[in-house]
Amino acid sequence: MTSAFLHHGGRLTEAARRFGGDPGEWLDLSTGLNPAPWPLATGTTTDWAALPDPDALAALESEAARHFGVAPALVCAVPGSETALRLLAPMLAMPGRALVPAYRTHAEAFAISRPVAFGESPERPEAIVLANPNNPDGLLHTPAAILDWHAGIAAAGGWLVVDEAFVDCHPQASVAPEVGDDGRLVVLRSFGKFFGLAGLRLGFVIAPGALREPLRAALGSWPIHAAALAIGRAAYADGEWIARTRAELPRRAAALDRVLDRHGLAPQGVCPLFRYLAGCDAEALFTRLARARILSRPFANQPDTLRLGVPADPASLDRLDRALARG
Amino acid sequence: MTSAFLHHGGRLTEAARRFGGDPGEWLDLSTGLNPAPWPLATGTTTDWAALPDPDALAALESEAARHFGVAPALVCAVPGSETALRLLAPMLAMPGRALVPAYRTHAEAFAISRPVAFGESPERPEAIVLANPNNPDGLLHTPAAILDWHAGIAAAGGWLVVDEAFVDCHPQASVAPEVGDDGRLVVLRSFGKFFGLAGLRLGFVIAPGALREPLRAALGSWPIHAAALAIGRAAYADGEWIARTRAELPRRAAALDRVLDRHGLAPQGVCPLFRYLAGCDAEALFTRLARARILSRPFANQPDTLRLGVPADPASLDRLDRALARG
């Protein structure tokens, strides 16, 4: 399998080059992005000419903080939570540890990183990165279990970084409200996944001042582009859309589960943006779907697993159903 | 004077808060941005939903490389050249040195930075940052003088970073074509100034692989948002607009010079995006212009200097003329 597909989802141009068709014909189930994005107001235009306004940055961080349930002062907007982790890792200046399976950046961001099991207490200062819910397997831990782990990690002089890129559907599972200037807890949030607008490259770091201030310094005076400032702020303020989407995504995921169950593919995970298939012949399944112009997400080193994004509508789900039936 | 105005230009919201009026009424001459930006095609919409396409990133870098006159492989697109320098400085892992006066990030990006005079050869490994043309004084050095300096810096084990954020009107002065994998020369380019679209946060680093590769790793898989990929590529390909703007900006700057000369303010610098006034009472001049809702750019530690952006049109220039006449 081409390594392009094993690294990240969303490589539609590469998929079309490899398996044929126009990228526009493809059904992209290779990411965990909400395929029914927050609706941009039509006619909205961005003022690209001016430098981004520092007041607009503060307003975005404040609106996002309200959504996260934290004090605005703890929040630093970043051009993507992936970039943020890559900037934070050298600032932490200690070896990293990541779960298996995990989002690949969780290990890659550190010069040295070893696997870790959830709850395993380190004996030395180490930076442990956990996604909750986890990607790709969709496993969700309770805040109590995470905070318990944090206590042991902090006692050893380490840091716990909780990547909550996919937590928006489980607000009660977020540990963001536990971040404080005296803790060793960092939370990453992503705008693009739940709101389905990954092209904006917008994320947030909720961290103690000891990390937040060097991060702000590294990003400089204008970390966020003009469109992300305006769209991010408006979307986080749209409580009605957020509530509706939190109800709708699990319904779509349940419909996908019924199709997968029918084909004998036991879906795993609780995050309603994707499902994880373990114990399958991933290469064969990936290729079968690709021939039907459906892009799924295989993983390097885990040849028996595949991740599927949740289709946006019945027509897309039916297309997947037919591709799976083709055998 | 409020420190907001001494740090960076473009603080219109703060200016209106401080001196009155609506930000929209203000004439912003506090930046070095082209006030007549590259025209975005009306009706152009950005696909914010998908992750930015790696092919589109390669196409942007390739088009930008053509404009810079360098091999595409040497070019790394970054979310703003200011952020790029802040990321590069710790990678260089040596003390910094910056000209006086200079863009403030040139010193701030380094944990330790001392002033340097142009051409001064260091005796130890140091990272020297030079803007060409320089900001705020608009001084332009020849490529021969810069390359000569680079030879001495490289021999001492240092690096020369040439910030060419304002070089687009002087393409023959760029040393970008001299960057190679075996040199110690780095060039920064900015998209937003010449093209007048600073809200995009788009810049480029042209550097040897030893720096380019860690920089790419720090930025992660999707360093550039979807709109910057599309707009940047189209603008760099618009040779007709680039040629016309290269001819027009110096005409506008000459018109500003005539007005400033008439008011006894001897303008300095060759960059047609701004003019530097030295030996003036900057606070008094800043305040007089602010009362007429014109924002200029004063500098900390240089109370006798002011920078003025070049007005876009005769009406704006006339407004400046009248404010200066008011005495």
Q: Give percent above pLDDT 90 in chain A.
A: 87
Contact predicate A299/A307, CB 8 Å = yes
> Cα(B81)–Cα(B162) distance, rounded to whole angstroms?
11
This model of the complex carries an ipTM of: 0.92
Whole-number average pLDDT of chain A: 94
Q: A54 Cβ partners below 8 Å, 6+ apart?
A: A221, B11, B13, B14
pLDDT, residue A4, reads 77
> Cα(A299)–Cα(B93) distance, rounded to whole angstroms?
36
Q: Is the pLDDT of residue A86 over 80?
A: yes
Six-digit token string for A73:
């002062």
Q: A106 Cβ partners below 8 Å, 6+ apart?
A: A85, A96, A98, A99, A113, A129, A131, A163
Comparing CA positions, the residue from B270, B256, B2 lying closest to residue B141 is B270
Q: What is the mean pLDDT of residues A31-55?
A: 87
Strands (E), B49-102: 75-78, 96-98
- Of the residues A76, A91, A201, the best mutation for testing chain B's interface (the one with the most B CB atoms within 10 Å of its CB) is A201
Q: Residue A47 is nearest to which of B13, B199, B226, comparing CB atoms?
A: B199
Q: Is the pLDDT of residue A5 over 90?
A: no
Q: Residue B55 is nearest to which of A13, A48, A220, comparing CB atoms?
A: A13
Sign (positive or negative) of CA dihedral A76, A81, A82, A83: negative
pLDDT, residue B1, reads 59
Residue contact B51–A199, C-beta within 8 A: yes
pLDDT, residue A44, reads 67
Q: Residue B220 is nearest to which of A13, A82, A199, comparing CB atoms?
A: A82
**Helices and strands counted in chain A (H then E):** 11, 13
Confidence of residue A43 (pLDDT cuts 50, 70, 90): low
> Cα(A90)–Cα(A80) distance, rounded to whole angstroms?
17
Six-digit token string for A197:
């607008």
DSSP-assigned beta bridge partners for residue B114: B97
Contact predicate B126/B161, CB 8 Å = no
**CA B206 from centre of chain:** 15
DSSP A293: T
Q: Are strands B203-206 and B267-268 parallel, antiparallel or unpaired?
A: unpaired
Q: How many CB atoms lie within 10 A of CB B102?
A: 21
Q: Is the pLDDT of residue A224 over 90?
A: yes
Contact predicate A169/A193, CB 8 Å = no
DSSP B169: G
Residue contact A51–B8, C-beta within 8 A: yes
Chain A contact for B165, CB < 8 A? no
Contact predicate A296/A286, CB 8 Å = yes
Six-digit token string for A132:
């909750």
Six-digit token string for A116:
């870790």
pLDDT, residue B116, reads 97
> Cα(A229)–Cα(B290) distance, rounded to whole angstroms?
27
Owner of token pair 């005296």:
A182
Q: What is the mean pLDDT of residues A4-28?
A: 89
Residue contact B105–A220, C-beta within 8 A: yes
Q: What is the mean pLDDT of residues A298-327?
A: 94
Q: Residue A220 is nearest to which of B86, B220, B224, comparing CB atoms?
A: B86
Comparing CA positions, the residue from B104, B11, B35, B101 lying closest to residue B290 is B11
pLDDT in tens, A186-201: 999 999 999 999 999 9
pLDDT, residue A2, reads 60
Confidence of residue A327 (pLDDT cuts 50, 70, 90): low
pLDDT in tens, A93-128: 999 999 999 998 999 999 999 999 999 989 999 999
pLDDT, residue B43, reads 58
pLDDT, residue A8, reads 79
pLDDT, residue A194, reads 98
B115 or A8, which is more confident: B115
10 Å CB burial of residue B289 (0-12, 13-18, 19+) is: buried
**What's the predicted TM-score (pTM) here?**
0.94
Interface of B with A in 20-79 (CB under 8 A): 28, 31, 33, 35, 37, 40, 46-55, 79
Residue contact A197–B48, C-beta within 8 A: yes
**Helices and strands counted in chain B (H then E):** 11, 13
Distance of residue A323 Cα from the nearest chain B Cα, in angstroms: 23
Comparing CA positions, the residue from B113, B108, B63, B62 lying closest to residue B83 is B108
Comparing CA positions, the residue from B137, B202, B190 lying closest to residue B164 is B190
pLDDT per residue as tens, chain B (327 positions):
557 788 778 888 899 999 999 999 999 999 999 999 999 866 567 889 999 989 999 999 999 999 999 999 999 999 999 999 999 999 999 999 999 999 989 999 999 999 999 999 899 999 999 999 999 999 999 999 999 999 999 999 999 999 999 999 999 999 999 999 999 999 999 999 999 999 999 999 999 999 999 999 999 989 999 999 999 999 999 999 999 999 999 999 999 999 999 999 999 999 999 999 999 999 999 999 999 999 999 998 889 999 999 999 999 999 999 999 986
Contact predicate B312/B252, CB 8 Å = yes
Interface of A with B in 176-235 (CB under 8 A): 192, 196-201, 217-228, 231
